[in-house]
């Protein structure tokens, strides 16, 4: 097993392992990391997990904040290959999002088509925010998603 802190080359998985170890060691939150580098916590986490590419500037800021080796920067700015399993995951939190899409996906699609026409909500030009809302019956999770509407072309 290679020593990631002194390796000449790191891939996205290596960089992710270093990020998670540093985050844990420093006691940081994704909110704190995102704020420190000037990005949203949602996007920061996604990029740290290898699903998005950092700009050179943001990768450098993350490397400095987490005291990672400079060899992590090229891995963090490299365009990702977004491969994810098509099977329903067993993690309860992630599974519930699949359940939401399974139950409400056709409804969301119908409402988008009704309001915008035939097309999709972009996951490329996309924002997401996760907020805790205090409630005496039990705190609530609010997930706001905003994606650019992309109409289908007729040709």
What is the C-alpha separation between 79 and 53, in angstroms, rounded? 5
The two tokens of residue 127 are: 């924002």
Task: Say which DSSP state 80 is in.
Answer: P
Residue 117, helix vs strand vs coil: coil
Does the annotation count 132 as an active-site position? no
Q: How far apart are CA 8 and CA 4, in angstroms?
A: 9
- For the question of residue 55 being annotated catalytic, the response is no
The CA distance from 26 to 1, in Å, is 24
Specify whether 24 is catalytic.
Answer: no
Alpha-carbon distance 73 to 61, whole Å? 10
Q: Which of 56, 57, 70, 122 is catalytic?
A: 122
Q: Which of 57, 67, 99, 129 is catalytic?
A: 99
Question: Exactly one of 35, 55, 67, 96 is catalytic; which is it?
Answer: 96
Question: Catalytic residue positions?
Answer: 96, 99, 122
């Amino acid at each position: 097993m290679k020593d990631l802190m002194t390796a000449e080359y790191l891939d996205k998985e290596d960089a992710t392992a270093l990020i998670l170890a540093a985050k844990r060691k420093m006691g940081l939150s994704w909110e704190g990391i995102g704020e420190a580098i000037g990005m949203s916590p949602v996007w920061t986490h996604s990029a740290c997990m290898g699903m998005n590419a950092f700009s050179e500037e943001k990768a450098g800021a993350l490397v400095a904040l987490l005291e990672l080796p400079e060899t992590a920067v090229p891995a963090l700015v490299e365009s990702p290959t977004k491969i994810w399993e098509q099977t329903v995951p067993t993690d309860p939190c992630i599974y519930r999002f699949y359940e939401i899409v399974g139950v409400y996906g056709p409804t969301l699609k119908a409402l988008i088509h009704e309001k915008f026409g035939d097309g999709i909500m972009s996951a490329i030009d996309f924002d997401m925010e996760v907020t805790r809302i205090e409630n005496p019956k039990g705190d609530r999770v609010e997930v706001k998603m905003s994606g650019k509407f992309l109409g289908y072309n007729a040709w």
